């Protein structure tokens, strides 16, 4: 029993270390934890949406875009893991059930898979990525406000990568600036 109590105290101390060492005085980082958990829900649902695109995409360009969806899903999984672990580091509890992901995600789930041509499929991915960029910008604003430089840095890198992907998808669809 004493060991369990010590573990609980050590965990509290670790969270205290992280929040104490942030740029501002010890704060609960409430908004940061909220936006981190929003990102967890949205990244999980985004992964599922991309998997659906991966399975139901058809037509010219399939051989290029089908495996590209694997790369995109791997990238989303990387963000999901890093953001979830950061939330845990801050003493938060990331959503971890399908019910929680669907309840909290702003990305609309498509109930049934429908075969779509490549262009329609890429439009769906583009819309999801544009939403994630908006969410990540909100995260940057919140983490800046609460003085959490580490979480801010995570979102800076992820947002930059998403913006590049959006530009590439838009270029593929003839929508990029300069076209």
Mean pLDDT of 135-158: 98
Which distant-in-sequence residues (6+ apart) come within 8 Å of 153 by Cβ? none
Angle of helix 30-56 versus helix 118-146 axis, rounded to 10: 170
**What is the pLDDT at residue 25?**
44
**What is the pLDDT at residue 12?**
66
Q: What tens digit of pLDDT does each residue of 51-101 get?
A: 999 999 999 999 999 999 999 999 999 999 999 999 999 999 999 999 999
Task: Name the pairing type of β-strands 57-58 and 116-117.
Answer: parallel
User: Quick check: helix, strand or coil at residue 58?
Assistant: strand
Residue 7 has pLDDT above 90, yes or no: no
Cα(97)–Cα(103) distance, integer angstroms? 10
**What is the pLDDT at residue 1?**
64
Residue 19 has pLDDT above 60, yes or no: no
Q: Is 84 exposed, middle or buried (0-12, 13-18, 19+ CB in 10 A)?
A: buried
Q: How confident is the model at residue 155 (pLDDT cuts 50, 70, 90)?
A: very high
Residue 50 has pLDDT above 50, yes or no: yes
**What is the pLDDT at residue 26?**
44
pLDDT-wise least confident of 44-58, 107-121, 135-149, 154-168: 107-121
Pinpoint the alpha helices (H) of the chain: 2-20, 30-56, 62-89, 98-104, 118-146, 149-172
**What is the pLDDT at residue 176?**
80
User: Quick check: helix, strand or coil at residue 48?
Assistant: helix
- Tokens 């499929």, located at residue: 121
pTM of the model: 0.85
**What is the pLDDT at residue 11?**
62
More confident residue, 20 or 78: 78
Of 144, 40, 41, whose CA–CA distance to 83 is shortest?
40
Mean pLDDT of 117-133: 97
**What is the pLDDT at residue 117?**
93
Cα(179)–Cα(176) distance, integer angstroms? 6
Q: What is the DSSP letter of 110?
A: P
Residue 22 has pLDDT above 70, yes or no: no
Q: Which domains does the chain have, with CATH numbers?
A: 2-16+31-172 (1.20.1260.10)
Mean pLDDT of 144-162: 98
């Amino acid at each position: 029993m004493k060991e369990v109590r010590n573990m609980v105290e050590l965990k509290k101390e670790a969270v205290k270390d992280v929040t104490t060492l942030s740029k501002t005085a010890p704060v609960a980082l409430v908004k940061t934890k909220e936006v981190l958990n929003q990102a967890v829900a949205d990244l999980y649902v985004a992964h599922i949406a991309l998997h659906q695109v991966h399975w139901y995409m058809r037509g010219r360009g399939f051989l290029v875009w089908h495996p590209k969806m694997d790369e995109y899903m791997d990238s989303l999984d990387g963000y999901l893991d890093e953001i979830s672990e950061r939330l845990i580091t801050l003493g938060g509890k990331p959503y971890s059930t399908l019910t929680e992901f669907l309840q909290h995600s702003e990305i609309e789930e498509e109930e049934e898979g429908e075969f779509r041509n490549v262009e329609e499929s890429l439009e769906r991915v583009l819309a999801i990525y544009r939403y994630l960029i908006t969410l990540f910008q909100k995260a940057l604003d919140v983490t800046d406000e609460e003085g959490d430089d580490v979480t801010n840095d995570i979102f800076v890198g992820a947002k930059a990568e998403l913006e590049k992907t959006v530009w590439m998808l838009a270029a593929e669809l003839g929508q990029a600036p300069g076209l």
